[in-house]
Structure formats: C-alpha cells, structure tokens
C-alpha cells in the first residue's frame, strides 16, 4: 500500500506561484524605464520597434527610391524597391540578369546605383552581333523581355573581358543610362567590385499599382560560363 501522503485540493496553494527573483528584477527594470520615459510604455514600444527596423534595414532588407529612368520600363522614376541585403552574404554571387544596387563611389560617382548585371567575373561581353544583340561568352542574349521599347542593345560598341570579382552592368533603358559603357576608360574599366554591391532588388513595393516581384530573366539561362560550362 502506498503510504506517501498525496496533497488534496485543500492542501494545494490557493494563489499562483509568485515571480522569482529574476522575474521581479526584470519587471522592476521595465517599470523604472517606463517611469523615466515620457509616455511610458507607449514610448518604450516605439523605441523597440525603431531598433528592430534599424537592424532590419542594416542587415536584411533596405528600401530604395528609383531616381532616374535608366531602368525603365521595369523600374520607373519614383518607384520604391526593397533590396535583399542577404542575397549575396553566404557565398552566393551576383548572377547575370540580376538587378543590383551598388555603391558607385570611385567608379560611377558618389551615390548608389541600380543596374542589371550583364557580365560576371571571367565573362567576355561583346556588342553587338549582326542582329544587334549583346553576346556573352559567344552566346547571343535576347534582351527583348526587359529592354526599353525602341532601344538597341547599345549604340556604343564594346568588347570587354570582365575581371574576377567584378561585374559589367547596364541599364535597361540603354539610351538613357550611364553605366559600365561610359566608364570603360576609367579606373576599373567601368566594372563594379562585387564587394560594393549592397544587395539584389527583389520587390517593387510602391506605388501599389507597380507592386511586383523582380525575377531573373531567362535570357541568360543558356549563356555558358567562361570555362565553357552552361550557367
């Protein structure tokens, strides 16, 4: 027979357990902060939200406004885009067709720019073939799905080899874009260091009517890598 005493309902404490020392200390700290802040808990909540947004902006996603028509008609003047700052943080590299935002200081000018990646390190990029198309590693690229209507691939001929760790970038509105073509004779040859890429433009979020997810076009899918393998 089990002789160990079992507590009855009458024996159970009628009040829930009181907070331990750590919980009381934490509550007291929050209480002191809210007593000190004008507005109390509301102000504290606003500060917490602001800190979260600052961390999000610094490490995860950052909004940018499109200042010019160089990426029309996909990105229009005044569009707000969200840039994925984690896209290239864990070993991934920018790929042909990605729309990227980068720091142009020392290359394009002291500002951030948004362009499309046309060539990556090791690529041979030529314009233009007999049909007026850009060729990457000997493969013609059909840019009609994103090139501004009526624009040619380029009014300026070029034949470039992209160094490792660099990107050759162009605007989709070629006749209204200052890009790698305009800096071929400058230090770095108009090629953007991968390390200066802030992130990949993934979404248009404003105005609401332009809301869309930006995807990599299939035009570059058959372009071989610089060693001859298909990328």
> Is residue 206 included in any domain, yes or no?
yes
Same domain, 32 and 123: no
User: Splitting the chain (231 residues) into consecutive groups of 10 residues, what average pLDDT does each group show?
Assistant: 41 48 50 57 51 46 94 96 92 96 89 97 96 96 96 95 96 96 86 95 93 94 74 47
Does 157 fall in a domain?
yes
CATH of the domain at 81: 2.10.109.10
Same domain flag for 52 and 66: no
Task: Classify residue 151: in a domain, yes or no.
Answer: yes
- As annotated, the active-site residues are 70, 115
Domain contains 100: yes
Query: Counting beta carbons within 10 angstroms of the beta carbon of residue 214, is it exposed (0 to 12), middle (13 to 18) or buried (19 or more)?
Result: middle
Same domain for 116 and 27 = no
Residue 16 lies in a domain: no
48 and 150 co-located in one domain: no
* Mean pLDDT (the chain, rounded): 81
Whole-angstrom Cα distance, residue 172 to residue 126?
16
Distance in angstroms (rounded) separating the CA atoms of residues 142 and 96: 13
Indicate whether 120 and 47 sit together in one domain.
no
Q: Give the pLDDT score at 50.
A: 47
Q: Which residue has the tokens 């299939």?
A: 218
Q: Give the C-alpha separation, 179 to 150, whole Å.
A: 19
25 and 132 fall within a common domain = no
Decide: residue 61, CB within 10 A, 0-12 exposed, 13-18 middle, 19+ buried.
middle
115 and 28 both lie in a single domain: no
78 and 47 in a single domain? The answer is no
Number of independent structural domains in the chain: 2
Q: Is residue 231 included in any domain, yes or no?
A: no
* 72 and 36 inside one domain: no
Q: For residues 197 and 164, state if they share a domain.
A: yes
- Does the bond joining 128 to the residue before it have cis omega, within 30 degrees of 0? yes
Write out the residue range of the structural domain in which residue 140 sits: 62-220
> Residue 144: inside a domain, yes or no?
yes
Choose the final residue of a domain: 5, 36, 59: 59
49-108: pLDDT as tens digits: 444 444 444 446 899 999 999 999 999 999 999 999 999 988 899 999 999 999 998 888
DSSP 59: H
> Does some domain include residue 149?
yes
Say yes or no: 101 and 43 in one domain.
no
């Amino acid at each position: 027979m089990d002789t160990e005493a079992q507590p009855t309902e009458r024996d159970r404490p009628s009040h829930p357990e009181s907070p331990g020392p750590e919980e009381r200390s934490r509550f007291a700290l929050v209480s002191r902060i809210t007593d000190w802040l004008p507005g109390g808990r509301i102000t504290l909540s606003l500060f917490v939200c602001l800190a979260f947004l600052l961390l999000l902006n610094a490490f995860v996603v950052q909004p940018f406004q499109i200042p010019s028509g160089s990426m029309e008609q996909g990105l229009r003047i005044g569009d707000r885009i969200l840039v994925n700052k984690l896209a290239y943080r864990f070993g991934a590299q920018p790929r042909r067709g990605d729309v990227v935002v980068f720091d142009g200081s020392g290359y394009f000018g002291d500002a951030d720019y948004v362009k499309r990646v046309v060539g990556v390190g090791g690529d041979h990029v030529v314009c233009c073939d007999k049909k007026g198309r850009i060729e990457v590693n000997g493969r013609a690229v059909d840019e009609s799905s994103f090139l501004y209507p009526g624009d040619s691939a380029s009014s300026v001929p070029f034949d470039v080899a992209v160094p490792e760790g660099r990107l050759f970038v162009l605007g989709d509105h070629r006749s209204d874009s200052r890009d790698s073509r305009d800096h071929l004779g400058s230090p770095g040859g108009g090629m953007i260091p991968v390390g200066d890429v802030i992130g990949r433009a993934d979404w248009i979020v404003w105005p609401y009517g332009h809301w869309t997810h930006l995807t990599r076009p299939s035009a570059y899918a058959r372009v071989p890598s610089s060693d001859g393998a298909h990328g």
